[in-house]
Amino acid sequence: MKLSRRASLASVTVTIAIIESVSTLAALAGANHSAAPQWSVEVKEVDAADVNIAPDFKVAIYENLLEELVKGKRFSAVLRSGDQRAKDIPGLVILKTTVESYTPGSETKRAVTTVAGATKLKVRSQLCTLEGKVVFERVVDGNVRFFGGNLRATHNLAHNVANALKQASGLRVGRERPAGQGS
């Protein structure tokens, strides 16, 4: 009887191992059939241009952009500005972000009324080739109208930029396209 229990336990263990390996293989096979990201992006520091924006907002926009681009999985690699690895990565595009307008808000006013105190940001986002050719450009807004801290506008903005870039299908950047990719 003890041998039978051991055999049953071993059989269950082997069955579980087989199921796990089949699941892993199926996931890998599915991953190979899905459209893998073909571009990498280097995110340049946010340019405030002539807009009077606090440095913490510029940094928050930049950091939130990095986070949202990684989460969005649109790019095979997301690099910070000045990353030394960028020069060796095929299919690299540059994301430039320029602040076009900024309206500071008030958390206190937002807490009291729904019509005042909104924090508003508007940026121009450009994907450029290494030669500087703009291959995608969009003006994107990020706001906090009701609840949340003023820096929440930077998160909303980064999320909206990442969504705009997801919709940028069929980018054609000439020779930066990785070898083996269709034109």
Kindly report, residue by residue over 86-100, the tens digit of the pLDDT: 888 888 999 999 999
Lowest mean pLDDT among 26-30, 48-52, 78-82, 139-143: 26-30
Residues 1 and 80 placed together within one structural domain of the fold = no
What average pLDDT score do residues 23-47 get?
Answer: 61
61 vs 45: CA distance, rounded Å: 9
What average pLDDT score do residues 72-82 get?
Answer: 91
Residues 92 and 71 placed together within one structural domain of the fold = yes
pTM confidence score: 0.69
What average pLDDT score do residues 136-141 get?
Answer: 92
Contact of 115 with 149, CB cutoff 8 Å: no
- The pLDDT score that the predictor gives to residue 26 is 35
Structural domain containing residue 11: 1-34
Residues 98 and 77 placed together within one structural domain of the fold = yes
- The pLDDT score that the predictor gives to residue 39 is 86
Residues 29 and 44 placed together within one structural domain of the fold = no
Residue 175 lies in a domain: no
Q: How many domains does the chain have?
A: 2
Q: pLDDT category, 107, cuts 50, 70, 90?
A: low
Residues 79 and 105 placed together within one structural domain of the fold = yes
Q: Percent of the chain, pLDDT > 70?
A: 61
Residue 160 lies in a domain: yes
134-144 sheet: strands from edge to edge: 77-80, 40-43, 92-103, 119-128, 134-144
- The pLDDT score that the predictor gives to residue 166 is 84
